[in-house]
Chains A and B, each alone.
Chain A
Amino acid sequence: MTRGHRLVAALATLAVAFVAGCGGASGGGGGGAGTPGAPGAAPGFDGSTIKLGVVSALSGPVAVIGKEITAGNKVWFDHLNAQGGVAGRYRVELVQEDHQYKTDLAVQRYNKIKGDVLAFTQLLGTPNTLAVLPLLKADGMVAAPASYDAFWVREPNLLPIGAPYQVQAINALDYYLTEDGGSPGSVVCSMIQDDVYGEAGQAGLDFAAQRRGVRIANTQRFKVNTTDYTGQIQALTRAGCEMVFLVAAPSDAGRIWGAAAQTQFPGRWIGQSPTWIDEFANSPLTPYLRDRVLIVGEGTEWGDTGVPGMRDMLERIQRYAPQHQPDYFFTAGYNQGRVMTALLEKAVERGDLSRAGVLAASRELGTVSFDGLSGDYRYGPAETREPPRTSTIFSVDPSKPFGLATRKYNFSSPDAQAYVFQKANL
């Protein structure tokens, strides 16, 4: 028993040594933190390598999202390390942990690696982030949440990216009313997943509808993984919906649009970005989707090399993850890497790569540009942060790599400008 145990421990030590050896191969020595003016060693920073935490769903049903975001994190930091690392000097190593999208595991995994990492470059899921938030505050650490909730904007310990879902919904309604044939008298409906993600979209839609004098005629809430959506489509048909704003995950979106296609539901669908996967562009649903569906998201279409951010990202995917398929969540993870790097460079500039240094740097971090992958984000003290309020409308086009073509690029409606971000009030 003991011998076996020791053997396992020895093997584990070997493996750890091996992995560490691979991770820190280049860079030549390092170790000493002593050069004057350089930041001293701290938990998660040994003087040459910065360790960042990734707490994500890497197994279980939500892993379909978690793995993509993590792949995005990885490609960004692989690229950064090839350039020499943060500020050209400090290599970054990711420490991945799996919370299976459960809050208790999220807390445990956070505790497991918080002593080894300087900050968290990904923390997936709204409930998990809310469960870890008190600990982040107590430990004075910074994490980049991987969900587009409006709550995060005003939390000093969080480093969100992108336009929150509310903004997407607001801009989507604006597009429908101004350029897609809608009018304040149109019958606007929504179909949302019955959880926080769905409610974020609904909140934006309600806000915009109220400002534009539009009535939301019907809202269908559904539970994730419902098998059959005929009933809801019937109800939307009965209500005479001309536009339905859809907040769903792809497997549900497929069944929803499938039921709609079968009964030839005549209305317009505008889906929030995560509803889409490229498989839809090459399926029996495609003709219906091409006629009826628009997607609201951020940045540009996949493969649009005219946008510098997209061009660079594709090049880096080619180099560091050549097998990778186009995916919306990948971009989110990639952008998280970018903002975390900006934050760390700020901390290096301040000469303090410790938790307190990173937290202080987040208050001084200015505007971070995402080169067109997402709107620019003005960071700084949480009270004055200004997330991008721009969205892009895509139409379905099977000839594109991700099946989506840009229809209206990077616009922001007056309603989106007027939206006020508040702290989570729980």
Chain B
Amino acid sequence: MTALLQNVFAGLALGATYALVALGFVIIYKATGVLNFAQGGLLALGSYLGYTFTNSLAVAFGIAIVLACASAALVGAAFQRVVLTRMVGQPVFAVVMITIGLLFVLDPLVTAIWGFDNLQLANPWNIQRVVAGELVLGVRDLWSIGLTATVVAAFFVFFRYSRLGVAMRATAFDPEAALAQGISARRVFAVSWAISSALAALAGITLAAGPGGLSPAIGLIALTAFPAMILGGLDSPAGAVLGGLIVGLAEALTRGYQDQLFSWAGENVSVIVPYVIMVLILLVRPYGLLGTAEVRRI
């Protein structure tokens, strides 16, 4: 029983990280209709910026997180403003490809600045733990669950009550009508890229604050967040969180019980379980758990 709870907790912590990344995908998709392949590159950039703030500039960890998120947001917004504004009205595919191009640029940029070596990000969490009965709860895991919950709550408030949040929802719902109401679509696009990049940086730093440290491969987690994003529904922030948690739990549980329950399916089933679950759910609900079905007219 303890073992099961331990695995469930690990799954929730993992799922919280997936949720942050998936949320970043969803926000850009909702605002601009584009799947941002560079999310992993932004995640790596954000976490390395965090490293610079904590280790090289010796800023307190909490402030370093904020600074890293802010700088990543700036990079994302700048990219949107400088490059992607020129692509308004162009085929979605060309824009998707541009984000792939951005990924090709960010990867070598990060390694050129920070090198390839595994770096240890100075942080107060690392392998600190809280023992609750027989259950061992990692402090970092608790924080990543807590941070995700806070971010999701903040989003709810932001989209519900703030002027900008409402403007973003309006633009996502009907860009032309929003434009007619005097909402600046350009501003909304830039803000959504900024938010998404900040989320990626946050996810990256919470990951890098663990014992594995920071290596250029950290951005790969964005690809594992794909099924989380699709599972919940491409245009649903709540779905991204739900999808992240489902995928995280499924992965952690299959990993924990691979040798007892899944040995028949070959090694490392946990890697493909998210995809299998995703396919099964999409067969029943083709727009994900909480996604909006597309209205199709002739």
A and B touch in the complex (CB under 8 A): yes
Where the two chains meet, the residues of A that have a C-beta atom closer than 8 Å to any C-beta of B are 59-61, 63-64, 67, 194, 218, 220-232, 234-235, 237-239, 250-252, 254-255, 257-259, 261-264, 277, 279, 282-285, 288, 325
- CA–CA, A222 and B13, complex, Å: 19
Distance in Å: Cβ of A253 to nearest Cβ of chain B: 8
Residue of B nearest to A67 (CB): B116
Complex: chain A residue closest to B221, CB-CB? A227
A63 touches B3 (CB 8 A): no
The answer on a CB contact under 8 Å between A284 and B256 is no
Whether B258 and A235, one on each chain, are in contact in the complex, defined by CB atoms closer than 8 angstroms, is yes
Tell me, yes or no, whether B120 is within 8 Å of chain A by CB: yes
Question: Residue B146 at the A interface, CB < 8 A?
Answer: no
- Chain B residues with CB under 8 A of A285: 126-127, 211
Does B207 have its Cβ within 8 Å of any Cβ on chain A?
Answer: yes
> A residues within 8 A CB of B213?
251, 254, 279, 283
CB distance from A241 to the nearest CB of B (A): 12
Q: Which residue of B lies closest to A222 (CB)?
A: B268
- The 7 A-B pairs at the shortest CB distance, nearest first, are namely A258-B211, A231-B255, A231-B256, A230-B10, A255-B212, A64-B116, A254-B212
Residues of A close to B268: CB separation below 8 A: 194, 221-223
What residues on A are CB-neighbors of B216 within 8 Å?
A: 61, 64
The answer, yes or no, to whether B257 is at the interface (CB within 8 Å) is yes
Contact partner of A279 among B107, B120, B220, CB < 8 A? B120
Given A227-B221, A235-B257, do A251 and B215 touch, yes or no (CB 8 Å)? Answer: yes
B117 at interface, CB cutoff 8 A: yes
Q: What 1/0 flags go to B204-227 for Cβ under 8 Å of A?
A: 000100111101110011001000
Given A63-B111, A64-B117; A227-B224 close (CB under 8 Å): yes
Q: Is the CB of A231 within 8 A of B267?
A: no
Docked-complex contact A230 and B127, CB < 8 angstroms: no
When C-beta atoms are compared, the residue in chain B nearest to A279 turns out to be B120
Question: How many positions in chain B have a CB within 8 Å of any CB in the partner chain?
Answer: 47
Name the distance in Å between B122's Cβ and chain A's nearest Cβ: 10
Q: Given A61-B216, A230-B10, A254-B118, do A235 and B267 touch, yes or no (CB 8 Å)? A: no
Chain B: residues with CB nearer than 8 A to chain A?
A: 3, 6-7, 9-10, 13-14, 17, 107-108, 111, 116-120, 126-129, 136, 138, 207, 210-213, 215-217, 220-221, 224, 251-260, 267-268, 270-271
Which residue of chain B has the shortest Cβ distance to A232 in the bound complex? B255
Decide yes or no: A283 and B120 within 8 Å by CB, A238-B3, A257-B211, A258-B210 being known contacts. yes
**List of A residues within 8 angstroms of B256 by Cβ:** 230-232, 234-235
For residue A218, which residues in chain B have a CB less than 8 angstroms away from its CB? 259
Q: Which residues of A contact B224 (CB under 8 A)?
A: 227
Task: With both chains docked as a complex, state the minimum distance between the C-beta of B63 and any C-beta of chain A, in angstroms.
Answer: 21
How close is A194's CB to chain B, nearest CB, in angstroms?
5
Quick one: closest B residue to A277, CB to CB? B118
Q: Are B217 and A251 in contact (CB under 8 A)?
A: yes
Q: How far is the CA of A252 from the CA of B14 in the complex (A)?
A: 15
Question: Do B117 and A220 touch across chains, with their CB atoms under 8 A apart?
Answer: no
Nearest-CB residue, chain B, relative to A238: B3
Q: Are A194 and B267 in contact (CB under 8 A)?
A: yes
Given that A222-B268, A227-B221, A277-B117 are contacting pairs, would A64 and B215 also be in contact in the complex, using a CB cutoff of 8 Å?
Answer: yes
**What chain B residues lie within 8 Å of A325 (beta carbons)?**
117
CA distance in complex: A60, B107 (Å) = 8
Chain B residues with CB below 8 A from A235, complex form: 256-260
The answer to whether residues A251 and B212 also contact, given A64-B118, A220-B259 and a CB cut-off of 8 A, is yes
Determine the distance from Cα of A221 to Cα of B269 in the docked complex, in whole angstroms: 10
Whether A225 contacts B220 by the Cβ 8 Å rule is yes
Q: Is B117 touching A228 in the complex (CB atoms < 8 A)?
A: no
CB nearest neighbor in B for A192: B267
CA distance A104 to B14 in the complex (A): 35
Asked whether A255 lies within 8 Å of B210 as measured between CB atoms, the reply is yes
Cα–Cα distance between A194 and B269 once the two chains are bound (Å): 12
CA distance A107 to B225 in the complex (A): 33
A63-B116, A221-B267, A231-B256 are known contacts. Are A261 and B211 too (CB-CB below 8 A)? yes
Query: Is A252 within 8 A of B212, CB to CB?
Result: yes
Q: Report how far A246 CA is from B125 CA in the complex, Å.
A: 25
Contacts of A254 in B (CB 8 A): 118, 211-213
Residues of B within 8 A of A264 (CB): 136
A200 smallest CB distance to B (angstroms): 16
CA distance A306 to B255 in the complex (A): 46
In the complex, the answer to whether B211 meets A255 with C-beta atoms within 8 Å is: yes
In whole angstroms, what is the CA distance A194 to B17 when docked? 24
Task: For A194, list chain B residues within 8 Å (CB).
Answer: 267-268
B226 to chain A, nearest CB (A): 14
Indicate which residue in B212, B254, B260 contacts A258 across the interface (CB closer than 8 Å): B212
Known: A235-B258, A251-B217, A254-B213. A261 touches B127 (CB 8 A): yes
Nearest CB of A to B243, in Å? 16
Central interface residue in A61, A257, A261, A264, by most chain B CB within 10 Å: A61
Find chain B residues with CB under 8 A from A64 CB: 116-118, 215-216
Residues of B within 8 A of A261 (CB): 127, 211
How far is it, in angstroms, between the C-alpha of A397 and the C-alpha of B56 when the chains are bound?
A: 25
CB distance from A35 to the nearest CB of B (A): 44
Would you call A225 and B271 a contact (CB within 8 A)? no
How far does the alpha carbon of A234 sit from the alpha carbon of B1 in the complex, in Å?
Answer: 12
List 26 A–B pairs whose Cβ atoms lie within 8 Å, in order of A's numbering: A64-B117, A64-B118, A64-B215, A67-B116, A194-B267, A222-B268, A228-B14, A229-B255, A230-B6, A232-B256, A234-B3, A234-B7, A235-B259, A235-B260, A238-B3, A251-B215, A254-B211, A259-B211, A262-B127, A262-B129, A262-B136, A262-B138, A263-B136, A264-B136, A284-B126, A325-B117
